[in-house]
Structure formats: structure tokens, C-alpha cells
């Protein structure tokens, strides 16, 4: 039996953050497929036995059942000593960028991509335009941040980077625009993360791709 279990599905950038972390630190883990698109996370059984919030990912380790990707990344960094901010200033800075990612980057990217490519009904163009405008502003902030440093906090990758990249490796056709081409500093940063030993694409790392049509 694997030491870690991760409830996840291939299309979830939130789950990918944790799956990638597990892989990069060399953890013994196995994925448990969550059938999100057929409503598994909305079932009473899932909310009672897996996650009361009705979300993935869920990281299981011994008697612990952890939810929210930031919590999972922090836990794995503290246990492994890898990708961990070192000083109090670094910890606060990593937290600052993780919160920004969850609210303004991954949050907008996930919603925009879902409505555009994964939702069962066509999106409202006005809603897409609203999300894209805010997404462009947030990505520009990240691109500027990466203009003078290889990673978000400095010279080495931390959990802030693994959080921020969660949705950015999905195919450009799912977004309708090419993130690395539009934001070259983000593009170089994504290449540096991709070069880390053990990196894998979300569709290769987690179950559920491709979606049945």
C-alpha cells in the first residue's frame, strides 16, 4: 500500500499542484480517481467520507486527511524538507503568492478554462470577457515578478511556484490563448519547473484523461 493517497482527476490544476509535489519529492503515492464530471464530489457519500467541502484534491497520509492544495503543499514541504521556504520572510512571501494564486491566478484560470472548454453548455461571452480581463491583469503581475528572478521567491523553487503553475501546463487550446507566448517571463519560469527531475504533465500524472465525449 502506498504511503500517500491523493483523490484527484486529470483536469484539476488544484489536484495537479499536489500530485506534482508528491512526484518531485519522490513520495510513494497513488492516485484515487474522483469522477468530478459525473458529480461524485456533490454526493452525500463523498462529502461524508472524503471531504465535507465537496472538493478535490484530498491528501491521505496515515490518519490524516488533508484538503485545500495550499495545506497539502505545506504539509509535504514540512515533512520532506523540499520546496520549503526557509526563513520567516520567505514563509510569509510564499504564503502571499499562494493566496494571490488561489484568488487571482489559478482561480480565474480554472473558471475561465472550465467555462470555455469543459462545461456542458456554451459560456456567456460577457462572462468570459469579464474573467479574461481580470486574468490578464493577474498574469501580468506574475510575469513582472518573474522578470528579475528565476522563481517567485528567489533563486530556488518553493511551494509558491508549485501552487502558481497548477493550471498553466494545460493545452493552450483549452484556454484559447498561449500563456508562455503571451507572457515570456512566465514561459521561461514554466520551462525551469518543467526541467526539475521527475516533472510530469498533469494528463500523464493523474487519471481521467481524456474525458469521454
Statement: 88-194 belongs to CATH 2.40.50.140: no
**Average pLDDT over the chain, rounded to whole?**
97
3-state secondary structure of 72: helix
Task: Decide if pLDDT at 159 tops 80.
Answer: yes
* Residue 80: all three cell numbers together: 520532506
Give 158's contacts (C-beta < 8 A, 6+ positions apart). Answer: 77, 83, 84, 85, 90, 94, 151, 152
* 157 burial level (CB within 10 Å; 0-12, 13-18, 19+): buried
- Neighbouring CB atoms inside 10 A of 48's CB total 9
For residues 42-51, average pLDDT = 98
For residues 156-174, average pLDDT = 98
State residue 2's pLDDT score: 98
pLDDT digits (tens, 9 = 90+) for 95-129: 999 999 999 999 999 999 999 999 999 999 999 99
Task: Decide if pLDDT at 213 tops 90.
Answer: no
- Give the bridge partners for 67, in sequence order: 58
Q: How far is CA 6 from the centre of its chain?
A: 13
State residue 57's pLDDT score: 98
Instruction: For residues 157 and 192, give the distance between their C-alpha atoms in angstroms, rounded to a whole number.
Output: 9
For residues 60-64, average pLDDT = 96
Provide the percentage of residues in the chain whose pLDDT is more than 70.
100
Domain ranges of the chain: 4-83+199-205, 88-194
State residue 165's pLDDT score: 98
pLDDT digits (tens, 9 = 90+) for 183-206: 999 999 999 999 999 999 999 999
4-83+199-205 belongs to which CATH class?
alpha beta
For residues 164-172, average pLDDT = 98
State residue 212's pLDDT score: 85
What dihedral do alpha carbons 158, 162, 163, 168 form, nearest 10°?
A: 140
The whole-model pTM stands at 0.97
Instruction: For residues 40 and 37, give the distance between their C-alpha atoms in angstroms, rounded to a whole number.
Output: 8
Amino acid at each position: 500500500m502506498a504511503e500517500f493517497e491523493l483523490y484527484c482527476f486529470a483536469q484539476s490544476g488544484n489536484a495537479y499542484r499536489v500530485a506534482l509535489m508528491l512526484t518531485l519529492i519522490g513520495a510513494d503515492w497513488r492516485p484515487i480517481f474522483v469522477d468530478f464530471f459525473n458529480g461524485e464530489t456533490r454526493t452525500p457519500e463523498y462529502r461524508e467520507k472524503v471531504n465535507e467541502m465537496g472538493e478535490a484534491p484530498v491528501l491521505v497520509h496515515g490518519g490524516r486527511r488533508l484538503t485545500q492544495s495550499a495545506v497539502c503543499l505545506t504539509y509535504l514541504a514540512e515533512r520532506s524538507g523540499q520546496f520549503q521556504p526557509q526563513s520567516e520572510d520567505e514563509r510569509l512571501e510564499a504564503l502571499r503568492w499562494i493566496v494571490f494564486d488561489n484568488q487571482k491566478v489559478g482561480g480565474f484560470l480554472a473558471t475561465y478554462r472550465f467555462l470555455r472548454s469543459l462545461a456542458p453548455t456554451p459560456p456567456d461571452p460577457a462572462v468570459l470577457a469579464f474573467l479574461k480581463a481580470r486574468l490578464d491583469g493577474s498574469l501580468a503581475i506574475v510575469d513582472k515578478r518573474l522578470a528579475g528572478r528565476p522563481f517567485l521567491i528567489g533563486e530556488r523553487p518553493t511551494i509558491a511556484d508549485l501552487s502558481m503553475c497548477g493550471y498553466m501546463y494545460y493545452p493552450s487550446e483549452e484556454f484559447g490563448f498561449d500563456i508562455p507566448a503571451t507572457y515570456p517571463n512566465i514561459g521561461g519560469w514554466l520551462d525551469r519547473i518543467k526541467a526539475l527531475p521527475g516533472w510530469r504533465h498533469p494528463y500523464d500524472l493523474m487519471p481521467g484523461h481524456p474525458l469521454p465525449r
